[in-house]
Amino acid sequence: MRTNKFLGKDWIDAELDFTKEEWETLIEVGLELKKRHAMNQDQTEILKGKTLFTMFFNQSLRTRSTFAAGIQQLGGFHVDLEPGKTYTPAREGFDIPYKTERIADVSRMLNRVGDAIAIRMYGPPAYWIYGFANSTIKEFAQYAEIPIINMECDKYHPTQALADLITIKEKFGTFKGINLTMSWAYSGSIEKPRAVPQSVVLAAAKMGMNVTLAHPKGFELDPEVIAACEKFSAETDGSFRITNDFDEGFKGAHIVYPKSWGSVYCFNYTDKTGKTVKKQDLEKAEKVNNENKNWRTTKKQMELVDKHGIYMHCLPADRGQEVDDDVIDGERSVVIDEAENRLHAHKAIMAMIMGGRL
Protein backbone atom coordinates (compact mmCIF):
# COMPACT_ATOMS: atom_id res chain seq x y z
CA MET A 1 0.00 0.00 0.00
CA ARG A 2 1.39 3.40 -1.01
CA THR A 3 1.75 5.84 1.87
CA ASN A 4 1.46 9.62 1.70
CA LYS A 5 4.79 10.96 3.00
CA PHE A 6 3.30 14.48 3.01
CA LEU A 7 0.51 13.59 5.46
CA GLY A 8 0.57 15.73 8.58
CA LYS A 9 3.75 17.54 7.56
CA ASP A 10 4.02 21.25 8.43
CA TRP A 11 4.43 23.76 5.60
CA ILE A 12 6.45 26.44 7.42
CA ASP A 13 10.06 26.53 6.20
CA ALA A 14 9.13 24.44 3.17
CA GLU A 15 11.94 25.78 0.98
CA LEU A 16 14.35 24.20 3.47
CA ASP A 17 12.40 21.23 4.84
CA PHE A 18 10.86 19.76 1.67
CA THR A 19 13.10 18.01 -0.85
CA LYS A 20 13.42 18.92 -4.51
CA GLU A 21 11.45 15.77 -5.36
CA GLU A 22 8.67 16.75 -2.96
CA TRP A 23 8.47 20.21 -4.55
CA GLU A 24 8.26 18.56 -7.97
CA THR A 25 5.38 16.39 -6.74
CA LEU A 26 3.50 19.41 -5.42
CA ILE A 27 4.01 21.23 -8.73
CA GLU A 28 2.57 18.22 -10.58
CA VAL A 29 -0.39 17.99 -8.19
CA GLY A 30 -1.07 21.71 -8.56
CA LEU A 31 -1.06 21.45 -12.35
CA GLU A 32 -3.30 18.38 -12.24
CA LEU A 33 -5.81 20.14 -9.96
CA LYS A 34 -5.72 23.17 -12.27
CA LYS A 35 -6.52 20.90 -15.22
CA ARG A 36 -9.45 19.32 -13.38
CA HIS A 37 -10.69 22.79 -12.41
CA ALA A 38 -10.55 23.95 -16.05
CA MET A 39 -12.51 20.86 -17.10
CA ASN A 40 -15.11 21.57 -14.41
CA GLN A 41 -14.45 18.23 -12.75
CA ASP A 42 -15.81 17.75 -9.24
CA GLN A 43 -13.04 17.85 -6.60
CA THR A 44 -15.17 17.87 -3.47
CA GLU A 45 -14.25 14.31 -2.46
CA ILE A 46 -10.57 15.20 -2.05
CA LEU A 47 -10.88 16.86 1.37
CA LYS A 48 -14.53 16.15 2.10
CA GLY A 49 -15.42 17.11 5.66
CA LYS A 50 -11.98 18.52 6.51
CA THR A 51 -11.72 21.89 8.29
CA LEU A 52 -9.09 24.58 7.69
CA PHE A 53 -8.63 27.34 10.25
CA THR A 54 -6.96 30.55 9.00
CA MET A 55 -5.45 33.38 11.02
CA PHE A 56 -4.45 36.59 9.26
CA PHE A 57 -2.53 38.97 11.49
CA ASN A 58 -1.99 41.07 8.32
CA GLN A 59 -4.13 42.12 5.38
CA SER A 60 -4.48 39.77 2.43
CA LEU A 61 -6.31 39.42 -0.87
CA ARG A 62 -4.80 36.56 -2.91
CA THR A 63 -3.83 34.34 0.01
CA ARG A 64 -7.11 34.81 1.87
CA SER A 65 -9.36 34.33 -1.15
CA THR A 66 -7.54 31.34 -2.64
CA PHE A 67 -7.21 29.37 0.60
CA ALA A 68 -10.89 29.96 1.37
CA ALA A 69 -12.01 29.05 -2.16
CA GLY A 70 -9.53 26.18 -2.39
CA ILE A 71 -10.59 24.27 0.72
CA GLN A 72 -14.24 24.59 -0.28
CA GLN A 73 -13.56 23.42 -3.84
CA LEU A 74 -11.91 20.36 -2.29
CA GLY A 75 -15.02 19.66 -0.21
CA GLY A 76 -13.80 21.05 3.09
CA PHE A 77 -14.74 23.92 5.35
CA HIS A 78 -13.01 27.25 5.98
CA VAL A 79 -13.16 29.00 9.35
CA ASP A 80 -11.47 32.40 9.54
CA LEU A 81 -10.24 33.13 13.07
CA GLU A 82 -9.19 36.71 12.52
CA PRO A 83 -6.99 37.88 15.42
CA GLY A 84 -8.71 40.72 17.23
CA LYS A 85 -12.16 39.29 16.50
CA THR A 86 -11.12 36.28 18.55
CA TYR A 87 -8.70 36.42 21.45
CA THR A 88 -5.38 37.13 19.77
CA PRO A 89 -2.93 34.23 20.15
CA ALA A 90 0.18 35.38 22.02
CA ARG A 91 3.56 34.05 23.05
CA GLU A 92 4.64 34.02 26.68
CA GLY A 93 5.68 37.49 27.73
CA PHE A 94 3.38 39.18 25.22
CA ASP A 95 0.10 38.49 27.03
CA ILE A 96 -2.55 41.20 27.43
CA PRO A 97 -5.34 40.35 29.91
CA TYR A 98 -8.72 39.72 28.25
CA LYS A 99 -7.27 40.47 24.79
CA THR A 100 -4.87 37.62 24.16
CA GLU A 101 -4.73 33.88 24.73
CA ARG A 102 -1.57 31.80 25.05
CA ILE A 103 -0.64 29.96 21.83
CA ALA A 104 -0.32 26.69 23.73
CA ASP A 105 -4.03 26.84 24.59
CA VAL A 106 -5.19 28.03 21.18
CA SER A 107 -3.21 25.46 19.23
CA ARG A 108 -4.16 22.49 21.43
CA MET A 109 -7.84 23.41 21.24
CA LEU A 110 -7.90 23.83 17.45
CA ASN A 111 -5.97 20.58 17.12
CA ARG A 112 -8.98 18.75 18.62
CA VAL A 113 -11.59 20.19 16.27
CA GLY A 114 -9.92 20.89 12.91
CA ASP A 115 -7.52 19.42 10.35
CA ALA A 116 -5.02 22.23 9.62
CA ILE A 117 -4.14 25.75 10.79
CA ALA A 118 -2.87 28.36 8.34
CA ILE A 119 -1.23 31.55 9.66
CA ARG A 120 0.02 34.84 8.22
CA MET A 121 2.13 37.13 10.39
CA TYR A 122 4.87 39.69 9.83
CA GLY A 123 5.66 43.35 10.50
CA PRO A 124 3.83 45.20 13.29
CA PRO A 125 2.11 42.12 14.81
CA ALA A 126 5.63 40.68 15.16
CA TYR A 127 7.05 43.99 16.47
CA TRP A 128 9.31 44.13 13.39
CA ILE A 129 11.58 41.67 15.23
CA TYR A 130 13.17 39.60 12.48
CA GLY A 131 12.22 35.93 12.95
CA PHE A 132 9.56 36.60 15.61
CA ALA A 133 6.68 35.63 13.33
CA ASN A 134 8.45 32.53 12.04
CA SER A 135 9.03 31.41 15.64
CA THR A 136 5.40 32.16 16.50
CA ILE A 137 4.13 29.89 13.72
CA LYS A 138 6.51 27.17 14.87
CA GLU A 139 5.11 27.49 18.37
CA PHE A 140 1.68 26.60 16.98
CA ALA A 141 3.29 23.52 15.42
CA GLN A 142 4.86 22.60 18.75
CA TYR A 143 1.42 22.17 20.34
CA ALA A 144 -0.59 20.78 17.40
CA GLU A 145 -0.53 17.39 15.72
CA ILE A 146 -2.45 18.71 12.73
CA PRO A 147 -0.35 20.44 10.02
CA ILE A 148 0.51 24.13 10.26
CA ILE A 149 0.70 26.19 7.05
CA ASN A 150 2.81 29.34 6.78
CA MET A 151 0.82 31.81 4.65
CA GLU A 152 3.74 34.29 4.92
CA CYS A 153 5.90 35.20 7.86
CA ASP A 154 8.86 37.53 8.29
CA LYS A 155 11.25 34.97 6.78
CA TYR A 156 9.41 32.91 4.17
CA HIS A 157 6.38 32.83 1.88
CA PRO A 158 6.42 29.20 0.66
CA THR A 159 2.86 29.21 -0.67
CA GLN A 160 3.77 32.05 -3.03
CA ALA A 161 6.95 30.25 -4.07
CA LEU A 162 5.00 27.14 -5.08
CA ALA A 163 2.60 29.23 -7.20
CA ASP A 164 5.61 30.91 -8.82
CA LEU A 165 7.20 27.56 -9.69
CA ILE A 166 3.93 26.30 -11.15
CA THR A 167 3.79 29.44 -13.31
CA ILE A 168 7.39 29.01 -14.47
CA LYS A 169 6.76 25.34 -15.32
CA GLU A 170 3.74 26.37 -17.40
CA LYS A 171 5.63 29.08 -19.26
CA PHE A 172 8.94 27.31 -19.89
CA GLY A 173 8.24 23.61 -19.37
CA THR A 174 11.44 23.22 -17.37
CA PHE A 175 13.61 24.82 -14.70
CA LYS A 176 16.99 23.73 -16.00
CA GLY A 177 18.83 26.46 -17.88
CA ILE A 178 16.28 29.13 -16.97
CA ASN A 179 17.76 32.43 -15.77
CA LEU A 180 15.71 34.00 -12.97
CA THR A 181 16.49 37.40 -11.47
CA MET A 182 14.96 38.28 -8.13
CA SER A 183 15.45 42.04 -7.94
CA TRP A 184 14.72 44.69 -5.36
CA ALA A 185 12.46 47.49 -6.62
CA TYR A 186 11.78 50.94 -5.23
CA SER A 187 8.63 51.62 -3.22
CA GLY A 188 7.50 54.56 -1.15
CA SER A 189 6.90 52.10 1.70
CA ILE A 190 10.12 51.36 3.58
CA GLU A 191 8.73 48.65 5.88
CA LYS A 192 8.19 45.40 4.01
CA PRO A 193 9.15 41.81 4.89
CA ARG A 194 11.87 39.80 3.15
CA ALA A 195 9.63 36.74 2.84
CA VAL A 196 8.92 36.79 -0.90
CA PRO A 197 12.47 37.39 -2.18
CA GLN A 198 13.90 34.86 0.25
CA SER A 199 11.40 32.19 -0.74
CA VAL A 200 11.78 32.87 -4.47
CA VAL A 201 15.58 32.56 -4.51
CA LEU A 202 15.52 29.47 -2.29
CA ALA A 203 12.87 27.67 -4.34
CA ALA A 204 14.48 28.60 -7.66
CA ALA A 205 17.90 27.46 -6.48
CA LYS A 206 16.44 24.20 -5.18
CA MET A 207 14.97 23.51 -8.63
CA GLY A 208 18.34 24.05 -10.33
CA MET A 209 17.70 27.40 -11.99
CA ASN A 210 20.35 30.04 -12.69
CA VAL A 211 19.47 32.54 -9.98
CA THR A 212 20.57 36.16 -9.77
CA LEU A 213 19.77 38.26 -6.72
CA ALA A 214 19.95 41.98 -7.55
CA HIS A 215 19.67 44.71 -4.94
CA PRO A 216 21.30 47.96 -3.84
CA LYS A 217 23.64 47.89 -0.88
CA GLY A 218 21.69 47.93 2.35
CA PHE A 219 19.03 45.48 1.12
CA GLU A 220 20.92 42.25 1.80
CA LEU A 221 18.91 39.13 2.59
CA ASP A 222 19.40 36.78 5.53
CA PRO A 223 22.92 35.24 5.39
CA GLU A 224 21.42 31.84 6.18
CA VAL A 225 19.20 32.13 3.10
CA ILE A 226 22.19 33.04 0.92
CA ALA A 227 24.16 30.07 2.26
CA ALA A 228 21.24 27.73 1.52
CA CYS A 229 20.93 29.10 -2.03
CA GLU A 230 24.61 28.43 -2.66
CA LYS A 231 24.22 24.90 -1.28
CA PHE A 232 21.13 24.13 -3.38
CA SER A 233 22.72 25.48 -6.55
CA ALA A 234 25.79 23.28 -6.04
CA GLU A 235 23.58 20.23 -5.49
CA THR A 236 21.45 20.84 -8.60
CA ASP A 237 24.16 22.14 -10.98
CA GLY A 238 22.41 25.49 -11.15
CA SER A 239 24.02 28.80 -10.29
CA PHE A 240 23.58 31.61 -7.80
CA ARG A 241 25.07 35.10 -7.83
CA ILE A 242 24.47 38.51 -6.28
CA THR A 243 24.82 41.87 -8.01
CA ASN A 244 24.28 45.43 -6.84
CA ASP A 245 23.69 46.60 -10.43
CA PHE A 246 20.05 46.87 -11.56
CA ASP A 247 20.82 46.63 -15.29
CA GLU A 248 23.23 43.74 -14.81
CA GLY A 249 20.53 41.79 -13.02
CA PHE A 250 18.14 42.13 -15.96
CA LYS A 251 20.55 41.29 -18.78
CA GLY A 252 19.68 37.98 -20.45
CA ALA A 253 17.13 37.00 -17.80
CA HIS A 254 14.27 34.71 -18.81
CA ILE A 255 12.35 35.80 -15.73
CA VAL A 256 12.59 39.10 -13.85
CA TYR A 257 10.86 39.42 -10.49
CA PRO A 258 11.39 43.05 -9.30
CA LYS A 259 9.85 43.36 -5.84
CA SER A 260 10.33 45.80 -2.97
CA TRP A 261 11.50 44.57 0.41
CA GLY A 262 12.74 46.29 3.56
CA SER A 263 16.37 47.24 4.04
CA VAL A 264 18.50 45.82 6.83
CA TYR A 265 17.57 48.92 8.87
CA CYS A 266 13.85 48.07 8.92
CA PHE A 267 14.10 45.27 11.42
CA ASN A 268 14.77 44.78 15.10
CA TYR A 269 17.18 41.92 15.79
CA THR A 270 17.37 39.79 18.94
CA ASP A 271 19.68 37.05 20.16
CA LYS A 272 18.56 33.56 21.17
CA THR A 273 17.55 34.82 24.62
CA GLY A 274 15.27 37.48 23.13
CA LYS A 275 17.54 40.36 24.05
CA THR A 276 17.59 43.16 21.47
CA VAL A 277 20.99 43.39 19.80
CA LYS A 278 20.13 45.88 17.06
CA LYS A 279 17.20 48.28 16.82
CA GLN A 280 15.21 49.38 13.80
CA ASP A 281 16.53 52.63 12.30
CA LEU A 282 13.81 54.13 10.13
CA GLU A 283 15.83 57.26 9.36
CA LYS A 284 18.55 55.17 7.73
CA ALA A 285 15.91 52.99 6.09
CA GLU A 286 14.30 56.06 4.51
CA LYS A 287 17.67 57.35 3.32
CA VAL A 288 18.83 54.16 1.62
CA ASN A 289 15.39 53.68 0.10
CA ASN A 290 15.25 57.16 -1.44
CA GLU A 291 18.75 56.81 -2.84
CA ASN A 292 17.55 54.03 -5.14
CA LYS A 293 14.41 55.38 -6.80
CA ASN A 294 15.87 54.42 -10.19
CA TRP A 295 15.28 50.72 -9.39
CA ARG A 296 11.98 50.86 -11.23
CA THR A 297 10.90 48.49 -14.00
CA THR A 298 10.13 50.32 -17.24
CA LYS A 299 9.70 49.18 -20.84
CA LYS A 300 13.27 50.30 -21.51
CA GLN A 301 14.47 48.17 -18.59
CA MET A 302 12.60 45.15 -20.00
CA GLU A 303 14.58 45.48 -23.25
CA LEU A 304 17.55 44.05 -21.33
CA VAL A 305 15.92 40.68 -20.70
CA ASP A 306 15.81 37.69 -23.05
CA LYS A 307 13.50 38.21 -26.04
CA HIS A 308 11.14 35.61 -24.56
CA GLY A 309 11.58 36.91 -21.03
CA ILE A 310 8.66 37.48 -18.66
CA TYR A 311 7.83 39.83 -15.77
CA MET A 312 6.61 38.36 -12.48
CA HIS A 313 5.36 39.93 -9.26
CA CYS A 314 3.54 38.44 -6.27
CA LEU A 315 1.17 41.45 -6.06
CA PRO A 316 0.12 43.89 -4.84
CA ALA A 317 2.58 45.99 -6.83
CA ASP A 318 3.22 49.66 -6.15
CA ARG A 319 2.46 50.97 -9.63
CA GLY A 320 4.44 54.01 -10.68
CA GLN A 321 7.14 53.14 -8.13
CA GLU A 322 8.12 49.47 -8.42
CA VAL A 323 6.87 49.19 -11.99
CA ASP A 324 5.26 51.18 -14.80
CA ASP A 325 1.72 50.36 -15.91
CA ASP A 326 2.79 49.49 -19.45
CA VAL A 327 5.05 46.74 -18.06
CA ILE A 328 2.75 45.14 -15.51
CA ASP A 329 -0.17 45.36 -17.97
CA GLY A 330 2.00 44.45 -20.96
CA GLU A 331 2.31 41.25 -22.97
CA ARG A 332 5.36 40.08 -21.03
CA SER A 333 3.61 40.26 -17.67
CA VAL A 334 2.29 37.00 -16.17
CA VAL A 335 1.19 38.45 -12.82
CA ILE A 336 -2.47 37.45 -13.17
CA ASP A 337 -1.56 33.91 -14.23
CA GLU A 338 0.75 33.84 -11.22
CA ALA A 339 -2.02 35.08 -8.92
CA GLU A 340 -4.48 32.50 -10.27
CA ASN A 341 -1.95 29.77 -9.59
CA ARG A 342 -2.10 30.62 -5.91
CA LEU A 343 -5.42 28.75 -5.89
CA HIS A 344 -3.97 25.60 -7.39
CA ALA A 345 -0.78 25.75 -5.31
CA HIS A 346 -2.76 26.07 -2.11
CA LYS A 347 -5.07 23.22 -3.09
CA ALA A 348 -2.04 21.03 -3.79
CA ILE A 349 -0.52 21.82 -0.38
CA MET A 350 -3.77 21.18 1.49
CA ALA A 351 -4.57 18.01 -0.45
CA MET A 352 -1.19 16.47 0.28
CA ILE A 353 -0.61 17.41 3.92
CA MET A 354 -4.26 17.07 5.02
CA GLY A 355 -4.64 13.56 3.62
CA GLY A 356 -6.61 14.27 0.46
CA ARG A 357 -8.01 11.54 -1.77
CA LEU A 358 -6.50 12.38 -5.15
pLDDT of 168 reads 98
Strands 269-270 and 276-278 turn out to be antiparallel
Q: What is the CA radius of gyration of the chain?
A: 20
pLDDT of 3 reads 65
pLDDT of 2 reads 54
**162-201 pLDDT, tens digit each:** 999 999 999 999 999 999 999 999 999 999 999 999 999 9
Residues 6+ apart with CB under 8 A from 256: 181, 183, 249, 250, 297, 302, 305, 309, 310, 311, 312
Residue (of 311, 289, 63, 318) closest to 190 by Cα position? 289
Question: Helix (H) and strand (E) counts for the chain?
Answer: 13, 13
79's enclosing H/E stretch is strand 77-80
Parse the chain into domains and list their residue ranges. 14-155+342-353, 160-339
Distance CA 83, CA 124 (A): 13
User: Which class is domain 14-155+342-353?
Assistant: alpha beta
Cα torsion 226, 229, 230, 236 to 10°: value is: 180
Whether the domain at 14-155+342-353 and the domain at 160-339 fall into the same CATH topology:
yes
Residues with pLDDT less than 50, the chain: 1
pLDDT of 10 reads 98
Distance CA 177, CA 211 (A): 10
**301-340 pLDDT, tens digit each:** 999 999 999 999 999 999 999 999 999 999 999 999 999 9
According to the CATH classification, is domain 160-339 in 3.20.20.70?
A: no
Asked whether 129 and 269 are in contact (CB, 8 A), the reply is yes
Q: What DSSP letter does each residue of 214-239 carry, written as one string?
A: E--TT----HHHHHHHHHHHHHHT-E
Query: What does the angle CA 129 – CA 135 – CA 136 come to, to the nearest 5 degrees?
Result: 95
